[in-house]
């Protein structure tokens, strides 16, 4: 999901667009090889396929109501028996004000408000196991929140055993809010079906992970296969996870579209009568290309190619860095403007929604592209490397942000990754660092569960920005080539698994052949970040020693006349770091004659004194002159010595003219 700040700058008044009455759409044909496999180039299963779904759903487009049957086939791959099955019923987050989502968000998320008329819910009409109705046995352990339901089993599911559960359910979409729902004729159908939790933990001690949906928590699910048939009016375009395997006319002016997805952990779809489509191909080394689609309404046509090119570039670059994209399609939905804040900027396997279209975002201002790249990037950082977004959001959001910055620079140039327009150029990461909170000021560590953050802003600054800056700091410390290789090794080792933070640091330490546990602990488990400062910097004229020297008859007093100023300067610079993170720091001294001298502090301890002799007086002290460290704002620290008084140090942040322009555009 994307952060709030990027949506702020895309804010536009939503004006009504008259699309005319819906028309019967041209029938879509499945791709020629779609029936064969939902994996690009075929091949064996990539994941353990623990949770597999077969769903048959029908959309009542006037009421935004879905009636469906679902068969879940789930295998106990743990060693302990299972006596209860927990299911996410995410749509109940929109049922009333008592849900954990509504309580934790206050009905507001990412610039959008929940509708007070368009409530959403999901009702289980039937739950059958081995032909026996179970619906009356369902429990809601988190009442009044109803987003998790538990089913106590008459017979436990023992290790290695597979169970089949058949549901009939009715799902009412909310008016779009917090990633799902309808707006006008646009239906974003996400988190819409009963979905089983994930068992985690050591063999024999497995526990269910199935948390209620809250404002900042996202998702966690097992990999599997999805065979889903969707029946909608023949005036609607459907876009869904996976590949289209069949499209048929159905009674009553409807059509049924059947999709198959393999080795994914979610399934979403969009139904809308007014979507247009553009497509292209992304070349991936190890096999056939990926077909990349962008779906958009006519009034957003100007942005379609930008999103398409960004998505193609992202699929290609992420494949190079973190392993080949495994599916044959990637669909990018550009939601209608009035659904953008709630439905836009969200990631699902093989299907993402983007955002950022606005009159301000003229070509060269790469905010729309950055949203697309972020969401496509999530197909690796959480789609393939399926970490737990509820408890370790940094593993997808923050790691993805770090990866996005690399991809943006590769695609658009290091100096122009954020802006290249109107004669201005700027790097996207530098722009972001200039407008987001100083990590050293954040009150909670990165290693905090998403639901435990004090507010949405702290969650965003910590999990997205601080994580990205910490990873860049580490990367610059160990060297980029080595770090990228280590990240690739991590991605390879944990593809189609559920890596934890511990797995991440262990994999990186192994690949880098150095223990980075100290950095990981300080940057991710503690608060305080990096708090570098020049404690003092002062110079005095250098001269021979004055005073009483020697003893006995040879004792003499050396005066200023006998030890005159030598024309050089004796300077003393003290650097301190009162933060938790200690990393090596370069220091650049600039003297009044414009000469410079480099110093290096290994970062050990909380302060370091540098005595320096130089022919000219010190003018300024610059910490981290090569911008290797990103953990502190300002990114560039220059301390100027003012006048003769060395005590007056002035820190200046270099914020480019473009950042200021952008800030004016955004407002506070």
Complex with Zn ion: residue 262 or 397, whichever CB lies closer: 397
Q: Note whether 437 and 461 are within 8 A (CB).
A: yes
Q: Does 442 bind Zn ion (CB under 5 A)?
A: no
**Calpha distance 622→423 (Å, rounded):** 29
Q: Does 1 bind Zn ion (CB under 5 A)?
A: yes
Site for Zn ion in 394-423 (CB under 5 A): 397
In the chain, the N- to C-terminal Cα span, in Å, equals 22
**Binding segment toward Zn ion, per CB under 5 A, in 22-30, 389-397, 513-521, 543-551:** 389-397
**Calpha distance 428→367 (Å, rounded):** 9
Complex with Zn ion: residue 381 or 483, whichever CB lies closer: 381
| Beta-bridge partner residues of 515 | none
**Which DSSP category does 524 fall into?**
I
Complex with Zn ion: residue 468 or 655, whichever CB lies closer: 468
Complex with Zn ion: residue 227 or 347, whichever CB lies closer: 347
Taking the complex as a whole, the smallest distance from the CB of residue 639 to Zn ion amounts, in Å, to 36
Kindly determine how many residues on this chain lie close enough to bind Zn ion according to the rule CB under 5 A: 2
Complex with Zn ion: residue 57 or 315, whichever CB lies closer: 315
Taking the complex as a whole, the smallest distance from the CB of residue 390 to Zn ion amounts, in Å, to 14
Taking the complex as a whole, the smallest distance from the CB of residue 220 to Zn ion amounts, in Å, to 15
Look at strands 585-591 and 596-601 and give their pairing. antiparallel
**Calpha distance 545→213 (Å, rounded):** 72
Structure tokens at 22: 């819906």
Taking the complex as a whole, the smallest distance from the CB of residue 393 to Zn ion amounts, in Å, to 9
Taking the complex as a whole, the smallest distance from the CB of residue 616 to Zn ion amounts, in Å, to 50
- Helices 397-412 and 467-478, interaxial angle, to 10°? 60
C-beta nearest to Zn ion: residue: 1
Complex with Zn ion: residue 33 or 455, whichever CB lies closer: 455
Site string for Zn ion, 341-380 (x = CB under 5 A): ----------------------------------------
Taking the complex as a whole, the smallest distance from the CB of residue 347 to Zn ion amounts, in Å, to 6
**Binding segment toward Zn ion, per CB under 5 A, in 175-183, 189-197, 355-363, 390-398:** 390-398
Q: Residue 587 contacts by C-beta under 8 Å, 6 or more apart in sequence?
A: 573, 575, 598, 599, 600, 601, 610, 621, 622, 623, 625
**Calpha distance 473→469 (Å, rounded):** 6
**Binding segment toward Zn ion, per CB under 5 A, in 284-292, 393-401, 410-418, 428-436:** 393-401
How many other β-carbons are positioned within 10 Å of the β-carbon of residue 183?
24
Taking the complex as a whole, the smallest distance from the CB of residue 359 to Zn ion amounts, in Å, to 25
Taking the complex as a whole, the smallest distance from the CB of residue 54 to Zn ion amounts, in Å, to 29
Q: Does 330 bind Zn ion (CB under 5 A)?
A: no
Taking the complex as a whole, the smallest distance from the CB of residue 218 to Zn ion amounts, in Å, to 8
State CA 513 to chain mean position distance: 27
Complex with Zn ion: residue 150 or 397, whichever CB lies closer: 397
Q: Residue 506 contacts by C-beta under 8 Å, 6 or more apart in sequence?
A: none
Complex with Zn ion: residue 4 or 25, whichever CB lies closer: 4
Complex with Zn ion: residue 1 or 573, whichever CB lies closer: 1
SS (H, E, C) 438-492: CHHHCCCCCCCCHHHCCCHHHHHHHHHHHHHHHHHHHHHHHCHHHHHHHHHHHHH
Q: Residue 234 contacts by C-beta under 8 Å, 6 or more apart in sequence?
A: 24, 25, 249, 253, 254, 255
Contacts with Zn ion, residue ranges (CB under 5 A): 1, 397
């Amino acid at each position: 999901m994307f952060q709030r700040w990027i949506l702020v700058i895309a804010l536009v008044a939503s004006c009504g667009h008259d699309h005319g009455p819906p028309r019967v759409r041209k029938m879509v044909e499945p791709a020629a090889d779609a029936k064969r496999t939902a994996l690009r180039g075929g091949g064996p299963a990539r994941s353990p396929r623990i949770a597999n779904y077969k769903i048959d759903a029908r959309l009542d487009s006037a009421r935004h109501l879905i009636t469906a049957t679902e068969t879940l086939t789930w295998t106990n791959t743990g060693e302990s028996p299972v006596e209860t099955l927990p299911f996410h019923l995410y749509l109940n987050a929109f049922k009333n004000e008592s849900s954990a989502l509504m309580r934790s968000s206050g009905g507001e998320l990412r610039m959008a408000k929940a509708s007070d008329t368009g409530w959403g819910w999901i009702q289980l009409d039937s739950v059958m196991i081995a032909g026996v109705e179970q619906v009356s046995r369902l429990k809601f352990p988190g009442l009044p929140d109803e987003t998790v339901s538990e089913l106590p089993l008459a017979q436990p599911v023992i290790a290695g055993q597979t169970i089949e559960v058949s549901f009939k359910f009715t799902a009412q979409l909310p008016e779009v809010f917090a990633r799902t729902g309808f707006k006008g004729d646009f239906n974003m159908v996400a988190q819409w079906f009963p979905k089983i939790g994930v068992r985690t933990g050591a063999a024999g001690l497995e526990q269910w992970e199935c948390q209620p949906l809250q404002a900042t928590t996202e998702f966690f699910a097992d990999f599997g296969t999805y065979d889903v048939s969707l029946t909608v009016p023949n005036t609607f375009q459907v876009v869904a996870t996976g590949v289209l395997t069949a499209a048929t006319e159905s009674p009553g002016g409807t059509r049924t579209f059947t999709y198959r997805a393999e080795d994914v952990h979610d399934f979403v779809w969009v139904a809308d009568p007014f979507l247009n489509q553009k497509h292209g191909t992304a070349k991936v080394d190890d096999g056939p290309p990926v077909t990349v689609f962008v779906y958009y309404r006519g009034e957003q046509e100007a942005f379609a190619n930008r999103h398409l090119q960004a998505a193609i570039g992202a699929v290609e670059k992420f494949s190079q860095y973190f392993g080949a994209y495994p599916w044959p399609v990637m669909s990018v939905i550009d939601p209608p403007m009035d659904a953008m804040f709630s439905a836009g900027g969200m990631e699902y396997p093989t299907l993402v929604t983007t955002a950022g279209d606005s009159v301000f975002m003229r070509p060269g201002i790469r905010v729309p592209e950055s949203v697309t790249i972020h969401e496509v990037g999530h197909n690796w950082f959480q789609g393939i490397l399926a970490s737990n977004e509820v408890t370790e959001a940094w593993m997808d959001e923050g790691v993805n942000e770090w990866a996005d910055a690399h991809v943006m620079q590769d695609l658009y140039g290091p100096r122009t990754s954020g802006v290249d327009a109107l004669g201005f150029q700027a790097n996207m990461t530098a722009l972001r660092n200039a407008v987001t909170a100083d990590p050293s000021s954040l009150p909670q560590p990165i290693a905090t569960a998403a639901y435990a953050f004090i507010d949405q802003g702290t969650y965003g600054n910590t999990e997205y920005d601080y994580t990205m800056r910490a990873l860049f700091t580490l990367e610059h410390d160990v060297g980029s080539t080595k770090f990228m290789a280590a990240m690739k090794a991590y991605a390879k080792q944990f593809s189609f698994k559920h890596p934890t933070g511990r797995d991440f640091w262990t994999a990186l330490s192994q690949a880098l052949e150095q223990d980075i546990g100290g950095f990981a602990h300080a940057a991710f488990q503690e608060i305080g970040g990096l708090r570098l400062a020049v404690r003092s910097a002062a110079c005095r004229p250098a001269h021979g020693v004055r005073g009483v020297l020697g003893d006995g008859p040879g004792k003499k007093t050396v005066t200023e006349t006998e030890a005159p100023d030598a024309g050089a300067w004796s300077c003393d610079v003290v650097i301190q770091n009162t933060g938790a993170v200690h990393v090596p720091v370069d220091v650049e001294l600039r003297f009044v004659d414009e000469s410079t001298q480099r110093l290096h502090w290994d970062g050990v301890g909380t302060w370091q004194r540098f005595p320096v002799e130089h022919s000219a007086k010190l003018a300024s002290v610059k910490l981290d002159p090569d911008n290797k460290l990103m953990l502190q704002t300002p990114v560039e620290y220059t301390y100027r010595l003012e006048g003769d008084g060395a005590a007056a140090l002035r820190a200046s942040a270099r914020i480019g003219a473009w950042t200021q322009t952008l800030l004016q555009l955004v407002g506070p």
